[in-house]
Structure 1
Amino acid sequence: MSDDATPSAHHFGITVSDLDEALAFYRDVLGLDVLAEFEVSGEAFAEGVAVEGASADFAHLDADGARVELVSYDPAGDDVRGGAVNDTGATHLGLSVPDLDAFHESLPDDVETLADGPRTTASGTTILFVRDPDGNLIEVLEG
């Protein structure tokens, strides 16, 4: 494959139902910095995402050099939130923190976690899965 045709990472996208609520979670709970907020609409966008009449509100956030894109579509699609991490097609965002116990203690009481605290796996990695307000999975690792 030629260099002009080889993809490179640009962003990791997460579809949300309420951009303001999601933005508050990713910014205030996870501490990600907001890079940009914008709206996209028009025929080319609707054709590009294959959703008739689509428009969307976006927020781009910085996760230590990785761009996280939150997007809220109009019209909204089917609600598929809250799936299990082992469902085919399930996705999650992976973030790292230096002290996972301190991160866990700092979480607001209403943030759902898959376990009641961090767990160290057989590989030696300490993990904690949390859900954003729409039920999207975020794996937080110590390291």
Structure 2
Amino acid sequence: MNAHHFGVTVADLGRAVEFYRDVLGLDVIDRFTVSGEGFSVAVGIENATGNFVHLDAGDGRIELVEYDPAGRAHTDDVNQPGTKHVGLAVEDIEEFYRGLPEGVETRSQPRTTESGARILFVRDPEGNLVEMIEA
């Protein structure tokens, strides 16, 4: 079994794509829309349509999806059961941090954990957490 994608539901697909492409540097590899009865039943949302963008994340993809009808927004902290985040490796976390555009929300400056990894959490424009890690 191999990882295929890591899904992130967003309210504004265009804004999310700009962040993941322009700020995080991921390439868009696919755009598509899915609807119909099979999709609606599979996702458990009546009359659902999903607008998708896949971005290249090395060994997997980041899948951004905007649903119609839209659900209610929520953002959780990492210590809440069921909370998810995307983790992306960078070579130099300090360089990445210095290159962040003004206004990108971070939890802190890059920090070194007890394991020796350097990490930085940022929020995408939708409030979703993205962990940047220099292992």
**Is the TM value for this pair above 0.5?**
yes
1:108 positional shift: 0.8
Tell me which of 46, 52, 69 is aligned to 2:46. 52
| Corresponding residue number in structure 2 for 1:120 | 112
Deviation at 1:9, TM superposition (A): 2.0
Q: Which runs of 4+ in 1 moved over 3 A?
A: none
Q: Structure 1 vs Structure 2: percent identity of aligned residues?
A: 56
Structure 1 unmatched ranges of 5 or more: 1-6
Q: Which has the larger radius of gyration?
A: 1
Secondary structure of 2:96's aligned partner: helix
CA distance in 2, matches of 1:66, 1:44: 25
Q: Which of 113, 123, 127 is the equivalent residue of 1:135? A: 127
3-state SS of 2:39 partner: helix
Pair 1:84 & 2:77 matched:
yes
Q: TM-score, normalised by structure 1?
A: 0.91
Superposition pairs for residues 1-143 of structure 1, below 5 Å?
Answer: 7-81=1-75, 83-115=76-108, 117-143=109-135
Matched pairs, number: 135
Measured on the aligned residues, the alpha-carbon RMSD in Å equals 0.9
**TM-score where L is the length of structure 2:** 0.96
Contact 2:3 2:59 in 1 (8 A): no
Could you tell me which runs of 5 or more consecutive residues in structure 2 were left unpaired when the two chains were aligned. Answer: none
Shift of 1:66: 1.4
